[in-house]
Structure 1
Amino acid sequence: MTHTRPEPLIIEPSAGAPAQLFVVLHGESAAPDQVLGLVGAIRQAFPQALIVQPHGRFGAGAARRWIAQAEPDAEAYVGLVADAGTVLAAEIRSLQQARRLSGEQTALAGFSEGAAVVLEAVCAHPGLAGRALLFSTRFATLPQAAPAQTTLHLLHGAADGVAPVDQARQVHGHLAELGGDATLDMASHVGHELHEALVRQAITRLQNYLPLRSWESVMGAPAARVDEYSADDDSGKPSAENGTLH
């Protein structure tokens, strides 16, 4: 049976034309309501942003997914995520064109399977987004090249039993070796969930982290930056002021 894909949930800016675009992807066997906490934090920190929450292309009801096959083996998973990343990139390009927003004004976010698709999209399609927030994901494969125009923020629960944090460490180290711009934040005692500590740290990264490409244009190339620490304190609560992506 073919199930019609619902229209995405869209939150328009508080006033006027959007200054940023956020596209937020839920995880596997879920729906956009899974990421409402993240969306609310983005809305508070970036009131002039257009926020889009698409539904996964496959499945039905509140159990949608981004890849065509449920529970594939590791080999099939790589190809399925690549296909999903291509479709996502095309949808984002269309949205950017319609709303007159650039890749640099765009941030993508995903949880679990959604994050794997986001990583694939930004690595395979240069300039698609200025930032990518990757929460608690089992990455399909190590990137062959780091996206030069995208800052990647990996956010992970240290006690994640579904997508072990060691894989996030591996991806982060690999990106550093490739000269990529990536951060890794871990929340201790947090499992496979979109925990408020990780959401809080994601907003802090968006508002306060200077992308490597911006740093290099002013200061020259720095040493590889590895930002790895516990993210589960209360010191990084997002500001209610309109932030910046770059």
Structure 2
Amino acid sequence: MTTTLARLPDDGAPDLLFLLLHGHGQTPDAMRPLAEALAREYPQAAVLCLQAPLQADDPAGSGKPVDGYQYFSRAGINDDNRAARVQAALPAFVATVRNLQQQFSMSWQRTALAGFSQGAIVALEAVQVEPQLAGRVLAFGGRHTTIPDHAPTDTTLHLLHGLADEVVPATPVIDAANALVLLGADITADILPGIGHQLHPRLIDKAIEQLRTFLPRRLWREAMSEAPVLSKPASSKELDKP
């Protein structure tokens, strides 16, 4: 897996790491609008657009390669085989994330995965199987392969989807979000009308808003643990207790 598009700080070491993952049949350049928005908002971040490891194939099953790249084949894909295909792609993807974290001396808490379509699917499933892989996931036009049976520990999920998406319908996204809420996940789900299967500017704006305003439960917990314990004078009733 290679990086062909990067936005790095002008000076000094990065303090955040964003890894952007394109969809089926795309190249890293497809994630440029999101990369530029993140770089503007977080100028001290390293924003890397990764290229999926496989040459894309024809979803119609012709066996012929098509332009762009893929994490897993879409030829003949259905609800029965999708999960297995995604699971097969995860070890190499997780290894890539870990290598980049080591390269940039970045903790998992300060790493975010942001994917569109197939890239979003891989990101969502990766944090389900690999604890402490990333602090946040931005999933544009993607979904879980199955309804999750547990929440990723201390990872915040931001689901960003178009209600008019006919490639990845919104219903499975909403179902997974509801399940994750019941499982205690840190999650937001923004389903915007009038948007199809695309990395739409409105979805990007919503993602930036969520990054700026949503405080993960992990940070609340850390803040409360560091808060000073304030003593109070004992009342006369308390002093009278044996």
TM range (shorter): 0.7 to 0.9
What is the aligned partner in structure 2 of residue 42 from structure 1? Answer: 38
- Matches of 2:91 and 2:150, distance apart in 1: 16
1:189 equivalenced with 2:174 (yes/no): no
**2:127 and 2:134 in contact (8 A); partners too:** yes
What is the aligned partner in structure 1 of residue 204 from structure 2? Answer: 199
Letter in 1 for 2:210: R
Letter in 1 for 2:51: H
Letter in 1 for 2:42: F
1:155 equivalenced with 2:151 (yes/no): no
Letter in 1 for 2:26: A
| Structure 1 gap ranges (5+) | 221-246
- Matches of 2:45 and 2:191, distance apart in 1: 26
Cα displacement (A) at 1:84? 1.7
Cα displacement (A) at 1:86? 2.2
Cα displacement (A) at 1:30? 0.9
- Matches of 1:6 and 1:70, distance apart in 2: 24
- Matches of 2:49 and 2:203, distance apart in 1: 19
What is the aligned partner in structure 2 of residue 15 from structure 1? Answer: 11
Letter in 2 for 1:24: L
- Matches of 2:151 and 2:128, distance apart in 1: 6
Q: Once the two structures are superposed, what CA deviation does each residue of 1:9-61 show, in whole Å capped at 9, x if it has no partner?
A: 22221211010000000011111121111111001001111111111111157
- Matches of 1:66 and 1:54, distance apart in 2: 11
**How many equivalent pairs are there?**
216
Q: CA RMSD in A?
A: 1.8
Cα displacement (A) at 1:216? 4.0
- Matches of 1:77 and 1:190, distance apart in 2: 24
- Matches of 1:6 and 1:215, distance apart in 2: 36
- Matches of 1:14 and 1:71, distance apart in 2: 45
What is the aligned partner in structure 2 of residue 81 from structure 1? Answer: 86
What is the aligned partner in structure 2 of residue 210 from structure 1? Answer: 215
Report sequence identity in percent.
39
**2:140 and 2:159 in contact (8 A); partners too:** yes
Cα displacement (A) at 1:134? 0.5
Q: How does 1:125-136 map to 2 (within 5 A)?
A: 125-136=130-141
Change (3 A) 1:69 1:194: closer
Give the TM-score, by structure 1 length.
0.82
Letter in 2 for 1:136: G
**2:17 and 2:106 in contact (8 A); partners too:** yes
Cα displacement (A) at 1:126? 1.0
Cα displacement (A) at 1:75? 2.2
Q: Once the two structures are superposed, what CA deviation does each residue of 1:181-212 show, in whole Å capped at 9, x if it has no partner?
A: 10001211111111100000101111111012
Tell me which of 26, 29, 36 is aligned to 1:33: 29
Q: How does 1:109-124 map to 2 (within 5 A)?
A: 109-124=114-129
What is the aligned partner in structure 2 of residue 145 from structure 1? Answer: 150
Give the TM-score, by structure 2 length.
0.84
* Higher percent of residues as strand: 2
- Matches of 2:4 and 2:73, distance apart in 1: 19
Change (3 A) 1:217 1:16: closer
